[in-house]
Structure 1
């Protein structure tokens, strides 16, 4: 991630905006503002920051007319940084990682709040899951598994029928850590 991307995603409203755009596939500032219950001019400002950072792009094919600004997410996942692609601002990268972890904890809390309904049999509708697996792998093997997971996500996303009314957005957090941390 570039420093501009890190800065853009460090703001909680911008992360919420990116989630709305991802869920809708494309959106206007007014639509996002209504969904998030924030002023449209504030959303417009944050959309420009996200666009300048390269996280979203305009989607004129969905515009009603030439003045209508519609946005869509840039495809793909993001990696905050790595030895091959280090972040320029280590403090900012660390701060974003903490913020993303808080988003992860929020997802876990929502699944925990729903889980008693499912495990008790009061509902059969699946809204989340907890699964764990412990495996012994080399670092290279783990990296290969991670690449296969991303490829699988891309494959099923491309095969999904976007017109299927049963389709829902799923937040998927995969957490992995070796036994040294």
Structure 2
């Protein structure tokens, strides 16, 4: 990772998976920016007004956060989709974003930024699981009739090569779901959150420097 803003992707056609740098992770520290980025795709142009309606936030606030995402290199302008010079249209800077192994030495500050980002991701996931389990209890008891989530878990013995294959298959499936979501239909649509998670069952629990192992 790097703190050099000049390393952010330049404006232009989006392509490929983008490795998250420290400036990108810092830009994503704000919850609304993470939400906006989730709604961005490399080939689906978005305007601030469109996104403001989706996230139920003021358009001027959304515009500000879009500029911060662009400054970090997470999104780029798509002038070919603009109606005029004042019309600002945005697309994601790549087909996806990833946190991979470092390409060089990582400073303490960079590791702190990464840990802060992953901590927030964990909180978001915890909140999602809490909402799903609350719904599942209501659904299983008959108080909720609408299917609003699905959870599939399993334990399987795989090689590291198998895991890379499975990860690629899940990513491809999510890409197909996104593509299907763009197909016009008369049926009503709403936003669904997709999470794919594959983890080594022997992963140690994180420890707190003052309190030992986390609960």
Deviates more, 1:85-94 or 1:43-52: 85-94
Name the residue aligned to 2:15.
Answer: none
Where do residues 9-48 of structure 1 align in structure 2 (5 Å cutoff)? 9-21=28-40, 25-33=44-52, 36=55, 38-48=57-67
1:50 aligns with 2:97: no
Distance 1:160 1:35 in 2: 15
Deviation string for 1:69-118 (max 9, x for gaps)?
12233443322232568866111111111111111112212212322342
Distance 1:65 1:143, change over 3 A: same
- Quote the residue 1:113 is aligned against: 134
> Which residue of 97, 103, 106 maps to 1:78?
97
Distance 1:41 1:156 in 2: 31
Match of 2:111 in 1: 90
Distance apart, 1:141 and its partner CA? 1.6
Between stretches 43-52 and 117-126, larger displacement belongs to 117-126
Between stretches 108-117 and 98-107, larger displacement belongs to: 108-117
Whose helix proportion is higher, 1 or 2?
Answer: 1
Residue 172 (str. 1) matches residue 194 (str. 2): yes
Superimposed CA distance per residue, residues 22-41 of structure 1 (whole angstroms, 9 cap, x where no aligned partner) = 6xx54322444455454544
* Structure-2 change in CA distance of 1:38 and 1:123 (3 Å): closer
| Contact 1:6–1:80 (Cα < 8 Å) also in 2 | no
Q: Equivalent residue of 1:46, what SS?
A: helix
RMSD: 2.8
The answer to whether the 8 Å contact 2:135/2:144 transfers is no
5+ residue gaps, structure 1: none
| Cα distance in 1 between the residues matched to 2:151 and 2:198 | 13
2: distance between equivalents of 1:54 and 1:172? 24
Write the distance in 2 (CA, Å) between the matches of 1:39 and 1:84.
Answer: 39
Deviates more, 1:9-18 or 1:76-85: 76-85
Measure the CA separation in 1 of the matches of 2:100 and 2:157.
Answer: 24
Structure 2 unmatched runs, 5+ = 1-19, 205-215
Alignment: residue pair count: 179
